[in-house]
């Protein structure tokens, strides 16, 4: 009788709502080890280790130049971090910068790092070299060490019939592993007439069905056709039904993000559509699903548009890189019910990850710094 009464009282007590919180930690700063750090990527391993990686632009801020890939690890959910390490392409250099008339012949551009966490504990890591070659390496110790790089550029040959590319790039950001075990990495390809041109471009994925041993090209997911202008820099998330959503930047006049969905992350992509709620300032954005709440998606990018003198949006205009915002959907991206500013000032590229306790991490460009923001869903919901 007493136990029944106590249980009834406990049920009647109000449930304590989570307390909203937001914390920010700068983990890379321009001028310390490199002129500027850009292009953030972020994953959380099965053991809970957070891996934050980026491009270390050694001499200036440009996409082409002497660029390395650096990594930091956190063992406490992103609160503290070990020292940064140069992790990619330590072997023979491949110098030559087609974007410079003078001085580029001694530069090596290591760009667009992407990590994928495998359910078997392996961390898969891809990066590009001079926007012309792609390499793969892996870690079996949560990012402490990596295998020797192995070139996988041949995987991109499968795109050539539809896209005679001369520039390739992975991500940036992170890849995903779907229920079948397939590893899926977002990529974009450019086929301009001049060496190194990043447009015109198309977007798709490469994939591996054998835990990174071999890689293949999927279908073109977002072509440069009709109203779709230069899709590139894509991000992925797994929906509640297991399908893969590809969310793409473009220079389209709609000034909205492009969305397409595939059942297997590689083929049969749906007709790309513009998502009216997701503004496109022509800047990379990031997307992730909350595994604790199937159907819930988090999206981040600068929520801005290019405006004319009358304050009207300029179709296909390049908006300011500021007002990095977090959006939340509870129905697999059909609608976006919440939009919360994370960084009102200068802010641009980002990547997202989720800890086992539901804490959301956003690794983003903040003026000359790369910052980790730690927050919970309650913060997104708070007024």
| pLDDT value of position 44 | 98
| pLDDT value of position 16 | 59
Joined tokens for residue 373: 């923001």
Q: Coil, strand or helix: which one is 63?
A: coil
Q: CB neighbours of 358 closer than 8 A, spacing ≥ 6?
A: 290, 292, 376, 377
| pLDDT value of position 272 | 98
Q: Tokens 């959006």 label which residue?
A: 327
The angle subtended at Cα 72 by Cα 365 and Cα 247, nearest 5°, is 45
Q: What's the CA gap between 36 and 64, in Å, rounded?
A: 13
| pLDDT value of position 67 | 98
Q: Tokens 């926007």 label which residue?
A: 131
Strands 173-174 and 110-117: parallel
Q: What are phi and psi of 180, to 5 degrees?
A: -70, -10
Joined tokens for residue 278: 């997701």
Q: What is the pTM of this model?
A: 0.95
Concatenate the DSSP letters of all residues of 311-323 into one string: SPBPTT----SEE
Helices vs. strands in the chain: H and E counts, helices first: 2, 26
CA 232 to chain centre: 12
Structural domain spans, the chain: 27-381
Dump pLDDT digits (tens) for 276-304: 999 999 999 999 999 999 999 999 999 99
pLDDT tens, N- to C-terminus, the chain (383 residues): 444 444 444 444 444 579 999 999 999 999 999 999 999 999 999 999 999 999 999 999 999 999 999 999 999 999 999 999 999 999 899 999 988 888 899 999 999 999 999 999 999 999 999 999 999 999 999 999 999 999 999 999 999 999 999 999 999 999 999 999 999 999 999 999 888 899 999 999 999 999 999 999 999 999 999 999 999 999 999 999 999 999 999 999 999 999 999 999 999 999 999 999 999 999 999 999 999 999 999 999 999 999 999 999 999 999 999 999 999 999 999 999 999 999 999 999 999 999 999 999 999 999 999 999 999 999 999 98
The angle subtended at Cα 361 by Cα 360 and Cα 362, nearest 5°, is 125
| pLDDT value of position 10 | 43
CATH of 27-381, one of 2.60.40.640, 2.120.10.10, 3.40.50.2300, 1.10.357.10: 2.120.10.10
Q: What's the CA gap between 149 and 125, in Å, rounded?
A: 9
Q: Which strands sit side by side in the sheet containing 286-289, from one edge to the other?
A: 286-289, 297-302, 322-329, 338-346
Joined tokens for residue 292: 């604790």
Strands 297-302 and 232-238: unpaired
Contact in structure between 365 and 348 (CB atoms under 8 Å) = yes
Closest of 347, 339, 336 to residue 371, by C-alpha: 347
Neighbours of 135 (CB within 10 A): 20
| pLDDT value of position 383 | 86
């Amino acid at each position: 009788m007493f136990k029944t009464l106590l249980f009834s009282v406990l049920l009647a007590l109000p449930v304590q709502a989570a307390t909203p919180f937001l914390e920010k930690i700068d983990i890379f700063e321009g001028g310390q080890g490199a002129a500027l750090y850009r292009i953030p990527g972020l994953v959380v391993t099965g053991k809970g280790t957070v891996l934050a990686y980026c491009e270390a632009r050694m001499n200036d801020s440009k996409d082409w130049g002497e660029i390395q890939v650096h990594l930091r690890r956190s063992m406490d959910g992103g609160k503290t971090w070990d020292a940064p390490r140069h992790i990619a392409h330590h072997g023979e250099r491949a110098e030559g910068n087609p974007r410079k008339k003078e001085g580029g012949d001694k530069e090596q551009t290591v760009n667009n790092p992407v990590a994928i966490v495998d359910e078997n504990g392996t961390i898969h890591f891809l990066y590009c070299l001079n926007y012309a070659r792609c390499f793969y390496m892996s870690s079996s110790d949560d990012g402490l060490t990596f295998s020797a790089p192995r070139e996988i550029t041949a995987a991109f040959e499968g795109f050539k019939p539809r896209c005679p590319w001369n520039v390739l790039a992975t991500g940036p950001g992170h890849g995903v592993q779907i229920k079948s075990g397939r590893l899926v990495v977002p990529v974009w390809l450019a086929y301009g007439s001049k060496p190194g041109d990043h447009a015109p471009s198309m977007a798709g994925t490469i994939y591996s069905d054998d835990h990174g041993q071999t890689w293949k090209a999927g279908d073109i997911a977002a072509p440069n056709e009709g109203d779709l202008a230069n899709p590139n820099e894509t991000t992925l998330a797994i929906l509640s039904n297991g399908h893969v959503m590809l969310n793409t930047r473009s220079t389209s006049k709609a000034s909205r993000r492009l969305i397409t969905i595939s059942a297997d992350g590689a083929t049969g992509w749906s007709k790309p559509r513009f998502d009216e709620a997701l503004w496109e300032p022509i800047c990379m954005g990031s997307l992730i699903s909350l595994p604790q709440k199937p159907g819930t998606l988090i999206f981040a990018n600068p929520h801005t548009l290019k405006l004319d003198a009358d304050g009207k949006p300029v179709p296909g205009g390049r908006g300011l890189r500021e007002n990095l915002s977090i959006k939340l959907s509870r129905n697999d991206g059909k609608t976006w019910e919440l939009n919360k500013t994370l960084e009102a000032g200068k802010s641009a590229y980002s990547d997202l990850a989720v800890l086992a306790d539901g804490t959301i991490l956003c690794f983003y460009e903040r003026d000359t710094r790369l910052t980790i923001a730690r927050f919970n869903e309650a913060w997104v919901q708070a007024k």
